[in-house]
Amino acid sequence: MRFDSVEFWAFFAVVLVLHRLLPFRRGLLVLASYAFYASWNPPFLLLLLYSSVLDYAVALRLGALPVPGVTGSDGDTVESAKAVAALRRKRRALLAVSLVGNLGVLVYFKYVGFLLDNLVALGALGVATADGLRIDVTLPLGISFYTFQTLSYTIDVYRGDTKPVRSFGDFLLFVAFFPQLIAGPILRAADFIPQIARARLPDQRAVLEGVELCLVGLFQKVVIADGFANVVDRVFAEPEHFSGSALLVASFCFNCQIYCDFAGYSTMAVGLARLLGYEVPKNFDFPLLATNPIEYRRGWHITMGTWFRDYFYQPLGGDRRGEWRTAFNSMLTWMAFGLWHGASWTFVLWGALNGLLLVAYRFLKHRGWLFPRGRVSTVFGLASMALFLSLSTIAFRAPSVDSAFAMYRRIATWQDGPLAISPLWFLTLAVLYAVHWLNRRFQTEGALARVGWPARVAFITLMVTALSLGAGSGEPFYYFQF
């Protein structure tokens, strides 16, 4: 069931009605979440349950062991050097169980083919091809998201940043909460678990906000993202048939497509959660209007960005060990972030390009070589970031590194081609950026709760009409493949 399908909205309507009528709301949401996930591939429910049981048990055991140097549950502080060392070994062993248990499954389903191909290319396996070694596996939907979500919980308990969850039902809901299960936003236990105990039915304002977010998210996906996909898919399928200018416009279109597609899902996830009385974090903060790579990183896929910051970048040393080490950490984090998206060197290239941009920006900023703040720097930053992000997404979308560089060469040399893109797409892109800017300038989110019923009815009618006439391609959400 996809968020843009009739089946899902029928399913959600039933869940919403039962959620209001029945007293055991937590159990209902757990069952609904598992039913939602089973609609894709029922056997993979076992993997979801496996991750939940593993990290629930590991966290409970970690919680029973005091953090070295911190007062334990019995009021005593571990002081003996041998006791501290033994305690740390136990805690690290438990953390390793979670890391290996979760990442091992993720690597098997998502990266085993990629690893075999590269080992064969390096001659490490003594065979000419990995075809005879590869096991045909189907990637479980959302495994990258819920694996990182449960890992963040275990790591937080290990660090002593949060306490283990005692209720297994609460933890099941935290892992499997269906509005965000497939593609985020990635939840943190410290933010979500307390909501379960104090969950209340949403008031009128929350309902209106939820309806607004669901409609806006659907519009982003069905009308804008799928509309762009009709052009992008055609160009990227046969890039050699298009001119350099057409490829450049297509890269802008794809940048907007993937934003509207993913932001549309995330926006609906926030809206669906609000209709059920829960708050999940927003995942986007106007990244198309970023004027520098730091703004972009803070505005794009926020929950995943903060995950890599807290559990990857900071443990590497972050920006605390000098300029060159910071540059290395930034590059490594961005490349890991790219590889998280998929088992392909194209994603690593995309991450490396973004990492290089961030390193270069920090280098220039620290030396005062950037434009001083003002209108000129804002316009230049907005235009240059839009161009760079659009070009970098070619690596994200291309089927291979060679194909990506072939497209870059056609754009750089401005080659002619038998096919071009209609100038209408320039106008479409301009309108999208203008609406994006107006939304940020006037903070339109939540407007449905601030206006009267005539305006509410008009907005809902307009959105439903647009959705019914939308040029949807019928493709699944782009981030479902990750």
What is the rounded CA–CA span in Å between residue 77 and residue 80?
Answer: 9
What is the rounded CA–CA span in Å between residue 235 and residue 268?
Answer: 29
The 10 Å Cβ neighbour count of residue 350 is 26
User: Is the backbone of residue 156 left (phi > 0), alpha (psi -120 to 50) or beta?
Assistant: alpha
Residue 301: active-site member: no
Please pick, among 241, 341, 366, 436, the residue that the annotation labels catalytic: 341
Sign (positive/negative) of CA torsion 68, 74, 76, 80?
Answer: negative
Strand partners, 242: 419
List C-alpha distances in Å: 270 to 108, 131, 133, 223, 428: 31, 42, 42, 19, 27
End-to-end CA distance of the chain: 17
Which residues in 409-447 are b (16+ Cβ under 10 Å) and which e? ebbeeeeebeeebeeebeebbeebbeebeeeeeeeebeb
Q: List the catalytic residues.
A: 341
